[in-house]
Amino acid sequence: MSYVAGSLPGRGKRKAGAITFWIGVVLGVGSLALAIITGLASFNAISNAVSDAVPIDGERSISLQAGDERTIYQVEQGTEAARCTVTGPDGQQLSLSRTSDIEGTSGDTTYVNVGNFTAEQSGEHVIACEGPRTLVGPALNVAGTLGGIFGVLAGIGGMMLGAVLAIIGAILWFLGRSESKRAAMAGPTGFGGGYPPGGYPQGGYQQGGYGDRPPPPPPPAQQGGYGQGGYGDRPPPPPPPTQQ
């Protein structure tokens, strides 16, 4: 016995579910790796910069060449922010740029960036800060650090999408498996072969038969004597007399 329809019910759902499930798994694992790598890179960027920084301790003078970039960092203390000014060799204050809050650790201390500045002239620059402890050090690559943060966010989004795809794939696979089990328990829906629809074709047997012609009449009864195993039209003889 075999199914006339061909493929077993539920097979398509199982195949689609398996493909969707493994796509979700691969996407989730890849996104997790992306989040870890970019997260560590962005987190360590400020830590490496702070390791080369020097404390300001209220006010500090540093010698810079025109075009040099520096970043001011502060120790994170709740929501309190350091207030800093930078004065160039000509006595003019330089502007501090801060596109976003970026933090990192050095040892057991967490630091955040206060702002970046660029020396317009060569000479001594005076940095003065109030509030939490501050440091000045090499410029932080804000673009690269922000790229790492966005990489972490993209990794988190990819993990969520991968989890959804894996769940959908598992549901499809189990639905297809249930349909296949029900179909196997119900048995085949029909049989191959058998009589064609509508019975035999008109005219009886086609190959070696009579076709559209009527069958020949039966042979006439034989006159006299025994026919084929009979007496023809005469009555049978009487039975033999009984012996005395």
Q: pLDDT tens digits for 46-100? A: 667 777 788 998 899 999 999 998 989 888 767 788 899 999 999 999 988 876 5
Question: Given this model, what pLDDT does residue 212 score?
Answer: 60
Q: Is 114:72 a contact under the CB 8 Å cutoff?
A: yes
Question: Given this model, what pLDDT does residue 236 score?
Answer: 66
Nearest partner of 129 among 141, 114, 119, 139, judged by Cα: 114
Question: Given this model, what pLDDT does residue 153 score?
Answer: 80
Question: Given this model, what pLDDT does residue 3 score?
Answer: 46
Q: Which helix (H) or strand (E) holds 74?
A: strand 69-75
Question: Given this model, what pLDDT does residue 191 score?
Answer: 45
> From CA 20, how far away is CA 30, in angstroms rounded?
15
Question: Given this model, what pLDDT does residue 99 score?
Answer: 62
Question: Given this model, what pLDDT does residue 193 score?
Answer: 45
108: number of Cβ within 10 Å: 5
Write the CATH number of the domain with boundaries 48-140: 2.60.120
Q: Is 96:86 a contact under the CB 8 Å cutoff?
A: yes
> From CA 77, how far away is CA 79, in angstroms rounded?
6
pTM of the entire predicted model: 0.45
**Per-domain residue ranges for the chain?**
11-44+148-184, 48-140
Question: Given this model, what pLDDT does residue 156 score?
Answer: 87
- In this prediction, the residues of the chain whose per-residue pLDDT falls under 50 are 1-5, 190-195, 197, 199-201, 203-206, 224-229
> From CA 82, how far away is CA 111, in angstroms rounded?
11
